[in-house]
């Protein structure tokens, strides 16, 4: 297909596609003339992935290129995909104390995670915010949340591993990581009410 | 204590405390003179609850008063607390189709929830957003997320029921509902990496 059709199929303006080509995010099409090239399904997939990284993941163009470069060079892309995406996602601000607290908790779970995982800073600062609002989460309660988070992560990984190709895996990890949070939060609110009805009688 | 001490203890300006008194969110102190009143621990608790409802829950002053009024009149406050708080929390926008889809899914789980639960609209619109980003969540995957959300809700309810007094229960439900979401999201990112390492080998 021509670049105009790629633009229609992906809903991304031609000028933006040309920018992705110049920046190396999008691979060149097959030249069919001095100023013409032919694009295929893998270009459509790549553009959708770029949009997911930027629009959904909140990555900069440079961040998106970093993820794509790292993964395209990776002989076994599924192996590191989670880590690469995580380390490219925007990170919360956390103090050294908050990071240390998050690390100590994650270590007590025996989880193997990497210092670049933005979940460390996110966990440390989220726990501080909860405490600033006057609530304490005892470690035992946090441990139960962690057990549920782990089950959610198993579902996430099943979904990522069943995706088609590198672009599919990346897409599932990025969109799944960032955009499924609100789904889980909504299910949690519904479940709270159901559990309250179940345990305390009809409201 | 005097209103100036209540202000210091709660970190809320005196003018704001007077506004809460006028609006009926904060119960009057015991009069100790024509223009003086004495405040106690229950005033401190109530002010913290008001701040949690407004700052953390994102409620308007009227919304906060609605929650407090409904619960103060309730002979058995823990029974309806989840529903009252939920129906006062800000709601996502969702189309009729999105609501219908969320309802059908919740019904398929056999959960008993109420039409005012903002999780319905939040679930419907979150699922649409995921799909707009090019990802489909099959029902079987959504069902697994729901099972984990239900376990999280059991932890939430245990925490709410072990809180001290009405203000404590409300505080735990509001802060716990709104501010624990980022904690769970952070744990999910950490767990994703751990599960990926566990299932795919060291990254």
Mean pLDDT of A67-78: 64
What integer pLDDT is reported at residue B73 of this predicted model?
A: 61
CB contact under 8 A, B154 and A122: no
CB contact under 8 A, B188 and A181: yes
CB contact under 8 A, B112 and A193: yes
**Mutation choice for A interface testing from B113, B131, B193 by most A CBs within 10 A:** B193
| Residue B203 binned pLDDT confidence (cut-offs 50, 70, 90) | very low
- Full 3-state SS string of chain B: CCHHHHHHHHCCCHHHHHHHHHHCCCCCCEECCCCCEECCHHHHHHHHHHHHHHHHCCCCHHHHHHHHHHHHCCCCHHHHHHHHHHHHCCCCCCCHHHHHHHHHHHHHHCCCCCCCCCHHHHHHHHHHHHHHCCCCCCHHHHHHHHHHHHHHHHHHHHHHHCCCHHHHHHHHHHHHHHHCHHHHHHHHHHHHHHHHHHHHCCC
What integer pLDDT is reported at residue B71 of this predicted model?
A: 65
Q: Is pLDDT of B77 > 60?
A: no
Q: What is the pLDDT of residues A33-56, one digit of tens each?
A: 888 899 998 898 888 888 877 877
What distance in Å separates the CA atoms of residue A3 and residue A37, rounded to the nearest whole number? 7
Check if A115 contacts B (Cβ < 8 Å). no
Spatial contact of A38 and A44, defined as CB atoms under 8 Å apart: no
Cβ-Cβ contacts under 8 Å, B200 against chain A? 78-79
Considering the entire predicted model, what is its pTM? 0.76
What distance in Å separates the CA atoms of residue B68 and residue B83, rounded to the nearest whole number? 13
Q: Is pLDDT of B78 > 60?
A: no
Burial environment of residue B164 by CB neighbours within 10 A (0 to 12, 13 to 18, 19 or more): exposed
Rounded percentage of chain A residues whose pLDDT exceeds 90 = 41
Mean pLDDT of B97-115: 92
Residue of chain A minimizing CA distance to B112 = A194
Check if A201 contacts B (Cβ < 8 Å). yes
Q: What is the pLDDT of residues B15-39, one digit of tens each?
A: 999 999 998 889 999 988 888 899 9
Cβ-Cβ contacts under 8 Å, A81 against chain B? 196
CB contact under 8 A, A146 and B177: no
CB atoms within 10 A of CB A29: 18
Torsion angles phi and psi, residue B31, rounded to 5? -65, 130
Cβ-Cβ contacts under 8 Å, A189 against chain B? 86, 117-119, 122, 177
What integer pLDDT is reported at residue A169 of this predicted model?
A: 78
**Mutation choice for A interface testing from B156, B196, B202, B203 by most A CBs within 10 A:** B196
Mean pLDDT of A143-164: 92
Q: Which of B147, B199, B203 sits opposite A157 (nearest CB)?
A: B199
Mean pLDDT of B57-81: 70
Q: Quote the DSSP letter at residue B116.
A: T
């Amino acid at each position: 297909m021509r670049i105009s059709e790629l633009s229609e199929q992906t809903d991304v303006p031609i000028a933006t596609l040309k920018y992705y080509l110049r920046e190396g995010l999008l691979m060149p099409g097959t030249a069919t003339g001095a100023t013409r090239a032919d694009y295929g399904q893998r270009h459509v997939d790549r553009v959708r992935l770029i949009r997911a990284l930027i629009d959904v993941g909140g990555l900069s163009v440079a961040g998106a290129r970093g993820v794509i470069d790292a993964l395209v060079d990776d002989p076994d892309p599924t192996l590191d995909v989670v880590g690469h995406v995580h380390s490219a996602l925007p990170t919360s601000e956390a103090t050294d104390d908050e990071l240390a607290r998050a690390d100590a908790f994650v270590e007590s779970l025996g989880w193997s995670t990497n210092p670049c995982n933005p979940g460390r800073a996110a966990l440390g600062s989220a726990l501080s915010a909860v405490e600033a609002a006057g609530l304490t989460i005892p470690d035992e309660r946090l441990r139960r949340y962690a057990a549920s988070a782990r089950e959610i992560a198993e579902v996430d990984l099943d979904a990522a591993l069943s995706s088609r190709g590198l672009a599919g895996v990346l897409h599932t990890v990025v969109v799944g990581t960032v955009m499924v949070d609100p789904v889980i939060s909504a299910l949690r609110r519904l479940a709270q009410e159901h559990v309250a009805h179940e345990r305390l009688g009809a409201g």
